[in-house]
Structure 1
């Protein structure tokens, strides 16, 4: 298998980075994961917008454009023989001296990884479990999709004996936050709810896409601070991320929901599927009047 490293295809066994890379030493790096459907990089513009904003904030001297990213992914998938794939697009700060750095980084390390995926299918289910470990607060004003992943790793180990389950973080104040690898939505009386980014969650690209889908379909969406009881009293619950798309949740602990029979999850999954092979951004979603 090949990876893409700084403009070159490299066999995974031969790929290497410097031990002085500040992405390794201090977590100064960002990544995006997105899905390729039949060769199309779904929502690539939205992923790159978030990536580039984070790179600017961290003062990492790199701005990734669509044609560069798409060309690199196409080259990588061609070398590996994939048409439907998981992509991790990683930008690390690059080499620096030992010690924290105040100057911008001017020689970042760009790595792209891929894994084959089956063709996308119907709506799937996954139960939820409330984690005992709290969601930590972001290092800055908002959470970046950075190399700093220890909170998620510890949470993942908490559910390792519960296959097919998504762990759900609460904040230290007890508000619903997000899943280990997902954002959380629920519906009550036809209204869609999801935690605000002000709770410290990652503003997932699929989260943003689903909110836009819902609003342009005439569904009311409310974002805010919600208690665990708000979540457990829902009619339906679902998770979102860029690889698993929309995943219905049939239950959390003793609370049961509509799962794959949920009307909103099923409707939104159907509309989601309409854009898989062509959309670069949520801005391409049409309203009901346009459909």
Structure 2
């Protein structure tokens, strides 16, 4: 496979970065993962906006725009002969001296990873497992999609390599938080529930899109602090991320749900599929979550 590295399309085995990159040394880096459907980067504008906002917080002097990123992605797709793909768009601080730096980073390392990922119309179904390690709190005012993934790694080790299981974090105060690599939703009495951002979760792009979709479909959406008891009393439970889209949960521990037969879960999945090959930003459907 070919990847993008600092302005060049290179073979992945030939890619080299500096050992003094502060993304490697101190975790100063961000990434966005998203999918390309039939050559279209779904919700690209929203991913770029979140990336640019995070880079500003990390004092990394780099701003991306749609025109630049689309050209980069098209070159990468052409080099690999793909039209449907997984993308990880990674930006780290770049090289610096040993020690913590307060001055702006002006030469970040930009890497775009790609792999083939074909479209599928059916929905995944998994089991949920509540992990014992609590969700850590964000390093700053809000959780960034950053290189700081040790909490996720520990949780994944607890769950193991089973592909049909998603680990579910609780906060240190035992409120429902999010999945290891996903946001969490559940349906109860025709209302869609999801933990609020004040629990310390990532404000996922797909999370925001599902909230917008649900409200446009006339669903009531509630965001708050919820104990586990509220979750396990649900009729339907699903997780979301930009790669797996919507994943229905059949059960969590010994508590069973409708899984892929859930009416609201299936409705949202069908609506989601209608936009994947055309939508640049969720504002185009007329709604963004209030947070």
Same fold (TM over 0.5): yes
List aligned pairs for 1:1-291, cutoff 5 A: 1-285=1-285
* CA shift for structure 1 position 161: 5.0
Alignment deviations for residues 221-278 of structure 1 (CA, whole Å, 9 cap, x no partner): 0000000001000000000000000111110010000001101100000110110000
Against the structure 1 CA distance between its residues 35 and 112, is the aligned structure 2 distance closer, same or farther, given a 3 Å change threshold?
Answer: same
**Runs of 4+ with >3 A deviation:** none
| Aligned equivalents of 1:161, 1:85: Cα separation in 2 | 23
2:9 aligned counterpart, secondary structure: strand
| Aligned equivalents of 2:118, 2:128: Cα separation in 1 | 24
| Aligned equivalents of 1:286, 1:125: Cα separation in 2 | 29
Structure 1-normalised TM-score?
0.97
**Can you give the 5+ residue segments of structure 1 that lack an aligned partner in the other structure?**
none
Alignment deviations for residues 192-222 of structure 1 (CA, whole Å, 9 cap, x no partner): 0000011000000000000000011110000
| Aligned equivalents of 1:69, 1:93: Cα separation in 2 | 19
| Aligned equivalents of 1:284, 1:142: Cα separation in 2 | 26
Against the structure 1 CA distance between its residues 35 and 232, is the aligned structure 2 distance closer, same or farther, given a 3 Å change threshold?
Answer: same
| Aligned equivalents of 2:161, 2:3: Cα separation in 1 | 31
| Aligned equivalents of 2:124, 2:159: Cα separation in 1 | 19
Aligned length: 287
| Aligned equivalents of 2:259, 2:100: Cα separation in 1 | 47
* CA shift for structure 1 position 284: 1.3
2:16 aligned counterpart, secondary structure: coil
| Aligned equivalents of 2:24, 2:84: Cα separation in 1 | 29
Against the structure 1 CA distance between its residues 238 and 48, is the aligned structure 2 distance closer, same or farther, given a 3 Å change threshold?
Answer: same
* CA shift for structure 1 position 286: 5.3
| Aligned equivalents of 1:163, 1:41: Cα separation in 2 | 25
| Aligned equivalents of 2:279, 2:252: Cα separation in 1 | 33
Q: RMSD between aligned alpha carbons? A: 0.9
**Can you give the 5+ residue segments of structure 2 that lack an aligned partner in the other structure?**
none
